[in-house]
Amino acid sequence: MRFSDADGYARGESVVCFMLKTISQTLADGDHIYAIVRETGAHGTGTPAGDRLEAQAIWDASVPS
């Protein structure tokens, strides 16, 4: 069967985790920089404007206090 012959779908779940650190800490540790994250975004509610609580939770988790 070829991919183009498929006529259904398969349900699935996954989790992705990125461990990030600042550029200055990466350089100080001598680590290799694979990419630089300049912006982030998230939308998983299906609403046109997105979910402010979801965005705030991501902001809270990603910005050091």
Binned at pLDDT 50, 70 and 90, residue 26 comes out as: very high
Mean pLDDT of the chain: 79
Domain for residue 2, yes or no? no
Give how many domains the chain has, as a whole number. Answer: 1
pLDDT at 32: 93
Q: Quick one: which H or E segment has residue 56?
A: helix 52-62
pLDDT at 42: 63
Residue scoring higher pLDDT (45 or 5): 5
Does 65 score more than 60 pLDDT?
no
Q: ∠ CA 48-51-55 to the nearest 5 degrees?
A: 125
Q: What is the pTM of this model?
A: 0.43
pLDDT at 64: 66
Tell me which residue range forms the domain holding 51. Answer: 12-62
Give the count of alpha carbons within 13 A of 41, CB side only.
4
Domain for residue 3, yes or no? no
